[in-house]
Amino acid sequence: MKLVFAIVHDEDSPRLMAELNKSGFRVTKLNSSGGFLRSGNTTLMIVVEDEQIEEVMGLIRKYSSSRQSAINTNVTPSAMGGAYIPYPVEVMVGGATVFVLNVEQFEKM
């Protein structure tokens, strides 16, 4: 038995959770935030049998897409006396970070 932790972008989580549920997987949702962009993420916890890992991973790959997004950074030009100016930068967001762990015991009470 395995425990899958899938950290996905907030925009991807409703569809991914719906597809996982439709395929018969139970999902626990935890709200989280990323450290780099400090944007909203969702951490999904899914307990599956060993032979179901590839099916779950396939659904995560299919419904967690990477995309370009513009974020504002603060730039301090020295010629402007240290004033902060928002400067848009294109970054990749989305996708998924997935951890798969062995489960010694699982009980639903």
- Per domain, the residue ranges of the chain are 2-102
Q: Where are the beta strands (DSSP E) in the chain?
A: 2-9, 28-33, 40-48, 66-75, 85-94, 96-102
User: Each residue of 52-82: pLDDT tens digit?
Assistant: 999 999 999 999 876 666 566 655 555 555 5
- pTM attached to this predicted model: 0.72
Alpha-carbon distance values, 108 to 42, 51, 87, 88, 103 (Å) = 22, 20, 49, 47, 13
Higher per-residue pLDDT: 70 or 106: 106
What pLDDT digit, counting tens, does each position of 6-50 carry? Answer: 999 888 899 999 999 999 999 999 988 765 555 678 999 999 999
At residue 18, the pLDDT reads 96
pLDDT of residue 20: 97
The CATH T-level fold of domain 2-102 is Alpha-Beta Plaits (3.30.70)
